[in-house]
Amino acid sequence: MRKSLTTISVLAALVLAACGTAPPAAPPPAAPAATEAPAAPAATEAPAAPTAGKLGKVCQVTDVGGIDDKSFNQTAWAGAQQAAKELGAEARYLESQQQTDYEKNLNEFLASNCDLIVTVGFLLGDATKAAAEANPNQKFQILDFAYDPPIPNVWGQVYATDQGAFLAGYVAAAVSKTGKVGTFGGINIPPVTDFMIGFEQGVKYYNEKNNANVQVLGWDSAKGDGLFTGNFESTDDGRRLGETLMDEGADVIMPVAGPVGLGTGAAIKERGNAYLIGVDSDWYESAPEYKSIVLTSVLKRLDVSVLEAARAVADGSFSGGTKVATLANNGVGIAPFHELDSLVPQKVKDDLPGIIQDIIAGKIKTKP
């Protein structure tokens, strides 16, 4: 992947209108229409923009998946671009080709007068901490990580992806014809395994409520282990593990490994006997070459997180600490079923709003 430094300069008039209406703190989710799943807000929606303030520069350091990973780096970059457009700013990114690039890229941005430095991914935790503590006047946001105790100049953003993945697991179990669904991850770290845990719990809940016996391949919460590629870059590994899961009978697969999952999509499309669940963004939109096999996606709204942090810098309300995205605040969710809507039983569509309410209320646990 090409290492690049991209600058987006927005020199037009400052756009201060909100790109969407803020959801209530704990909204009761509306029942979905018969043709789609309960969907998170559109990719450009976020809480209302501040009435004043200006941002000079927002700078993003990617994880090794790269800026065009069709997953979390790309989704975060969409938020940085929106912030640049809305706040009359510049948005820049530096790609990390390997973990040794993290410190180098951070240092480059520390010398570039960035108003906000956004680091994307759990693996940047140590490098971001070191940079933030050495530069207490620089504002940082790290996605998929939070510090305990908090660092005053770091906005740590985490996501309850187990909640969204629970819904995906429930749907996958209902759609499966073989009685086996599968998942695998990039690396065994919490931002990855949270998806896998929630997915497994959703399948178990479906079994309990529907007298079924759908099996989950690739993850076992009791052991805290499962299938992992060991990286977030190799689509060949994604193809290999996708083929392995299909060989074992899985007909719905959720890869949690950024662009690695595109290799799984290719394998499924070639065989034509399984369906794909995307993660982070709606893969029907971000990976349209696989839209005919995308059942749904577990959404993690990193774009909204970046935009919110940029607005906070602009209006002077930025603060460090941990922010959590949940079903209740529309920070996570699942995408519509799009072309595969007819595969999902109407009863399951009818079940989802109540399940969402019960997760928000704490009546359903998405982790064992």
Give dist(CA 293, CA 246) in Å, integer. Answer: 14
Does the pLDDT of residue 353 top 60, yes or no? yes
Q: Which two tokens stand for residue 338?
A: 């799009």
Q: Where are the beta strands (DSSP E) in the chain?
A: 5-9, 57-61, 90-94, 116-120, 139-143, 154-159, 180-185, 215-217, 219-220, 225-226, 252-256, 275-280, 294-300, 321-325, 332-334
d(CA 47, CA 306): 12
Q: Are 159 and 144 in contact (CB under 8 A)?
A: yes
* CATH topology match: 55-159+301-331 vs 162-299+337-361: yes
List CB contacts of 357: < 8 A, sequence separation 6 or more.
28, 29
- pLDDT for 70 equals 83
How high is the pLDDT of residue 291?
97
What is the model's pLDDT at position 53? 60
Sequence-separated (6 or more) residues with CB below 8 Å from residue 291: 283, 284, 338, 339
Lowest-confidence segment of 14-18, 33-37, 293-297, 307-311 by average pLDDT: 14-18
Whether residue 26 is predicted with pLDDT greater than 90 in this model: the reply is no
So where are the chain's domains?
A: 55-159+301-331, 162-299+337-361
pLDDT of 19 above 80: no
In this predicted structure, what is the pLDDT of residue 329? Answer: 94
**pLDDT at position 71:** 86
Q: Residue 49 — very low, low, confident or very high, per pLDDT cuts 50/70/90? A: very low
Instruction: Decide which of 3.40.50.720, 1.25.40.10, 3.40.50.2300, 3.40.449.10 is the CATH code for 162-299+337-361.
Output: 3.40.50.2300
Residue 11 has pLDDT above 60, yes or no: no
From the candidate CATH numbers 3.40.50.720, 3.40.50.2300, 1.25.40.10, 3.90.1150.10, the one assigned to the domain spanning 55-159+301-331: 3.40.50.2300
Token couple for 158: 């985490």
More confident residue, 239 or 44: 239
